Amino acid sequence: MSLGRVVVAMSGGVDSSVAALLLSREGYEVIGVTLRLWSDERPDAAPLSRGCCTLEDIDDARRVCEAIGARHYVINAEREFKATVVDYFLAEYERGRTPHPCIACNDLIKFDFLLNRALAMDADYIATGHYARLVFDDEGNPTLMKAIDQSKDQSYVLFGLRQEQLRRLLLPVGWYTKTDLRELAREAGLDIADKADSQDICFIPGGDYRKFLQLHREASPGDVVDMEGNVLAQHQGIDRYTIGQRKGLGIADPAPLYVVRIEPETRRVVVGPEEALLSPGLIADGMNWVSGTAPSEPVEVTIKIRYKATDMPATLVVQGSETRVWFDEPQRAVTPGQAAVFYREEELLGGGYIVGPLDSDATRESITASVPS
C-alpha cells in the first residue's frame, strides 16, 4: 500500500535523483518534476556553465524516473523565477546589499510555487534533495535539523520554511552522506552516480556575477571614499562591490583596504582597514521562526551569517519586527542582505536577513536590557 503521493523536485543531479529513489523504495508513489527556471543553451558553453535546467539535466531526471518506475514532468517556471529570484538578485545589489538567491528560490519557487502545483496534482507531499532532516514529535509537529553530513548541510537556506510547509515536506537525503548517495545511485544502476555537483548560482553561467550585473544594469558611477569621507577613486556602480571586498577597488595604497560600508543613497563605497570590518553583533529583520513562535526573552544560540560560515555562539533578542544579536566574539564582514540563521545545537530555530552590524559601542547588556520585563 502506498504511503502517499509525493512530487520530487528533480534537477537531474545526484541528490534529487537519490531522493526519488529512496522514497520509491520506501513505498511512496513518486512523481518527478523538473522545473524549467533559467538556461543558457549556447553550444559553446561548458556543461556546468549553462545555468540550471539544461536539456541534459532534464534528460537525466527523466531517465532516473524511468529506472524507478515514476512519472516525470517538466514545468516551465521561468517567468516566476525571473520575477521572484533574478529580479530580487539585481535589486538587492542596487540597494547596496548582497543577496542569497538560493534562499529566494527555496521560499518562493520550490516551497511555494511547486507545493501549489503538487497539491493541484493531488500529491500529499513534496520532496527535495536538500541536505537537512525533519524530526516529528508524538503530535506530528516538525523540527528542522541539520544534515547528518555536516560538510553538506543545507539547512541554512531553509530557514524560511513554516510549519504548514514542513508537514508537507520530505527530506530523505539529509540522513546520508554524499558518499552514501553516490553509492546508492551506483547500486541502482543510475548513470548520474558520478555526475558533478552544480554551481551555486544556477542562473549565472560561469559564476561571474559581476559580469551578469553589468549585462543587466546600467553603470551608475559614484565615489570610493575612506572612512573620513575623502574621495580616493571613482566606481561604476555600487552593485559591483560587497562588504569585505579587497580586490578591484582601483586604489593605490600601501596598506590593504577593504569595503567596509556601501551607501546606496549617496552611491558611495566606503573603504577602510581590515579591523574596521569587525562587528560586535548585528540587526536582522524579515524573521521566520520555524516553530511559529518568536522567543520572548534573550536566547543563547549559535549563528551562521553566511552559507559557508562556521557556527558561532551568540545571544539573540527579539525586539518587535527586528532581532538583535550579540556575538560572543566580534565577527568579520557582517553583510546586509545575507541571512542570519540561528540554531540550538542541531535544531534550526529560525532566521532573517541582515540589516547591518550593531554599533561598535553596543554591549550584550545593552541589547538584553531592552527586552520588556
Instruction: Give 249-282 pLDDT, tens digit per residue.
Output: 888 888 899 999 999 999 999 999 999 999 999 9
292 and 267 within one domain: no
- Is residue 295 in a domain? yes
- In the block, cell 540589516 appears at 355
Report the alpha-carbon distance of residue 237 to residue 120 in Å, rounded: 44
105 is catalytic: yes
C-alpha cell at 169: 515536506
Beta bridge mates, 224: 233, 269
Q: What CATH number does residue 122 fall under?
A: 3.40.50.620
Which residue range is the domain that position 141 belongs to? 5-207
Report the alpha-carbon distance of residue 258 to residue 270 in Å, rounded: 8
Say if strands 222-225 and 231-235 run parallel, antiparallel, or are unpaired. Answer: antiparallel
Q: What's CA 119's distance to the chain center, in Å?
A: 24
pLDDT at 43 over 80: no
Q: What are 50-86's pLDDT values in tens digits?
A: 456 688 999 999 999 999 999 999 999 999 999 999 9
Q: What are 283-342's pLDDT values in tens digits?
A: 999 999 999 999 999 999 999 999 989 999 999 999 988 999 999 999 999 999 999 999
Q: What are 204-225's pLDDT values in tens digits?
A: 867 788 888 888 888 789 999 9
Percentage above 70 pLDDT, the chain: 94
202 is catalytic: yes
Report the alpha-carbon distance of residue 339 to residue 288 in Å, rounded: 11
- Is residue 216 in a domain? no
250 and 313 within one domain: no
Residue type, 58: I
Predicted local confidence at residue 361, as pLDDT? 80
Predicted local confidence at residue 51, as pLDDT? 54
Say if strands 169-170 and 125-127 run parallel, antiparallel, or are unpaired. Answer: parallel
Residue at which a domain ends, from 237, 257, 272:
272
Among residues 285, 254, 283, 253, which one has the least CA distance to residue 370?
283
Whether 203 contacts 101, CB under 8 Å: yes
How many other CB atoms are there within 10 angstroms of residue 163's CB atom? 14
pLDDT at 42 over 50: no
191 and 106 within one domain: yes
Report the alpha-carbon distance of residue 111 to residue 10 in Å, rounded: 14
- Is residue 29 in a domain? yes
Q: What are 336-363's pLDDT values in tens digits?
A: 999 999 999 999 999 999 999 998 788 8
Instruction: Kindly state the average pLDDT of the residues 29-43.
Output: 80
Report the alpha-carbon distance of residue 22 to residue 188 in Å, rounded: 10
C-alpha cell at 123: 500529491
Report the alpha-carbon distance of residue 316 to residue 301 in Å, rounded: 7
- Is residue 218 in a domain? no
293 and 262 within one domain: no
Report the alpha-carbon distance of residue 142 to residue 249 in Å, rounded: 47
Report the alpha-carbon distance of residue 15 to residue 177 in Å, rounded: 10
Predicted local confidence at residue 48, as pLDDT? 44
CB-based contacts of 112: which residues, under 8 Å, 6+ apart?
none
In total, how many domains does the chain have?
3
Say if strands 132-136 and 142-146 run parallel, antiparallel, or are unpaired. Answer: antiparallel
56 and 166 within one domain: yes
Whether 51 contacts 39, CB under 8 Å: yes
Residue type, 118: A
Whether 40 contacts 86, CB under 8 Å: no
CA dihedral sign of residues 91, 96, 97, 98: positive
Q: What's CA 46's distance to the chain center, in Å?
A: 24
Whether 22 contacts 44, CB under 8 Å: no
Whether 282 contacts 298, CB under 8 Å: no
Q: What are 112-146's pLDDT values in tens digits?
A: 999 999 999 999 999 999 999 999 999 889 999 99
296 and 261 within one domain: no
Given the residues 52, 53, 102, 105, the one annotated as active site: 105
